[in-house]
Amino acid sequence: MSVVDVPWTFEDEDFKLASIWADIYKESAYYSEARALRQAVCDKLGLTQKGFRFKRGMDRRQLAQHQLYLYTLKDLGGSCHDTGDHDSALEHLEEAIIEVKKLLHPQRPDPALYVMLIGLQSDRAGELQCLGDHMAAYHQREEAWKSWSKKSKDPRLLKATVGAFRDWASSLIDIGRYSEAIAKLRQTISFYESERQRFSPIDRDVLLARSELARAYMEDQQHDEAWKEYTRLHKLMKESKKDHPDTLLAAEGVAASLSNLGKSKAALEVRVANITQWKALPSQKNQQFQNFIAAKYNLAQNLEEVGYYSTALDHYNDVLKSRLASLRHKHGKYCKCKASLNDPAPQQTFNLAVLQCQTTYRFSTNEVMTSLEAITTILDKMGNAEETNRFLRLTLQVCQYKAEVAVPGIKTHIVKRSRREAYACFNRLASLAKRGDERISQRKQVLGLQRKYLGDG
């Protein structure tokens, strides 16, 4: 506790202790505490509040202190990301990029600094992606690749620049340029295969490139190629990581490809086995838990495809229960609502959840909305009109609030993204109307709202 609570003289060991402590908070899902600690470290170094900046002529100790500041700033950006505050994460990363660029010496290039800069630029692109600005993320990754691709003689820098090229290709998927992405990712994998002495087939960078290539195939509707790539990826993952969550995610890709190829029963077998392995993992924390819930949701969809409606409904209800629990998770001490389908006033409960999660919390209310929508749809297929109408009302309440909420302090792009999600759900729910004129009328209303709040673009 002395790191934060008593006067702190700058020492490397104090910094290491604080970093380890913050990492433990992060791994234990105490994201807000990790963020507060890293902010305190910056403040204790006297850097953030006094506007510390790099200056020529600093002595060795000042330079060391400045570099620790940059590492802390980078980690602080990561903690902001974990708490869902992508705007603050973006600000910290941009400041770190500016300061790192000042340290670069044209005559005496330091590979470690170049590697750090590429990593910061990649993280910045990731935050832009989280904010829905895929084009800006694409341009950032393009800059990262083109700026440093000619400085790749050092082995460490070579690995970073190839990673930047792979990330650039991944951004092409996000903006819909699938054929270009596929070509660049194939080029990346060919390079990895030609450099076997540096990159083994089960190296993390190689596996990530294969994963992105499979995603590109799937987005481009080349489902047969996606299935082959996901199968190859899953095999490599099993050789290297066995029952690691990444291996289970690769198996989810295999199942999704099979489902897209019309082989729903084969996909179901993969997903049933996968869920068993998810449950056998020693712990379910953080993103790993969210991936497990997503796998259960996919299983429910698969069961619905093959006509097992009752079992699918049970899984959908389990997923919804977990996602509502996530909204009121104690992490961050922000979401104290008791969201429940049995609350006497569900609208106020859901409104509170939406408000709190949009402003301060990392779990998206969009997941709750999609769960409600899935339950509504399957109840309609089962012919249960009363329950269909009840869940339809709940779903529409969440959609309406997401579409119309305008809370002071929420960034414009967050409100727009929230509205886009709500309008998409409104439009899909219109298909439940039994008469064609009702569906047309509902979709016209959605179109009117889109033009009003999002513009004609």
Question: What was the pLDDT predicted at 58?
Answer: 58
Nearest Cα neighbor of 118 from 45, 205, 192 is 205
Answer whether residue 3 shows pLDDT above 60.
Answer: no
Q: Rounded mean pLDDT of 208-215? A: 92
Encode pLDDT of 20-48 as tens digits.
888 888 887 778 888 888 888 877 765 54
Q: Rounded mean pLDDT of 209-220? A: 92
Residues written for the chain: 457
pLDDT-derived band at 150, boundaries 50, 70, 90:
low
Answer whether residue 358 shows pLDDT above 50.
Answer: no
Answer whether residue 336 shows pLDDT above 50.
Answer: no
Q: What percent of the chain has pLDDT over 70?
A: 75
Question: What was the pLDDT predicted at 179?
Answer: 92
The CA distance from 73 to 98, in Å, is 12
Q: Rounded mean pLDDT of 396-408? A: 70
What backbone phi and psi angles, to 5 degrees, belong to 57? 90, 5
Q: What percent of the chain has pLDDT over 90?
A: 21
Least confident among 102-106, 248-252, 351-355, 397-401: 351-355
Identity of the amino acid at 340? S
DSSP conformation letters of 248-294:
HHHHHHHHHHHHHTT-HHHHHHHHHHHHHHHHHSS---HHHHHHHHH
DSSP 365: H
Question: What was the pLDDT predicted at 201?
Answer: 82
Question: What was the pLDDT predicted at 225?
Answer: 93
Structure tokens at 38: 């890293």
Encode pLDDT of 161-192 as tens digits.
888 889 999 999 988 899 999 999 999 999 88
Answer whether residue 335 shows pLDDT above 70.
Answer: no
Answer whether residue 353 shows pLDDT above 70.
Answer: no
Q: Rounded mean pLDDT of 188-199? A: 85
Q: What is the pTM of this model?
A: 0.76
Question: What was the pLDDT predicted at 362?
Answer: 37
Question: What was the pLDDT predicted at 284?
Answer: 57
Answer whether residue 359 shows pLDDT above 70.
Answer: no
Question: What was the pLDDT predicted at 26?
Answer: 84
The CA distance from 88 to 233, in Å, is 35
Q: Rounded mean pLDDT of 66-74? A: 79
Average pLDDT over the chain, rounded to whole? 78
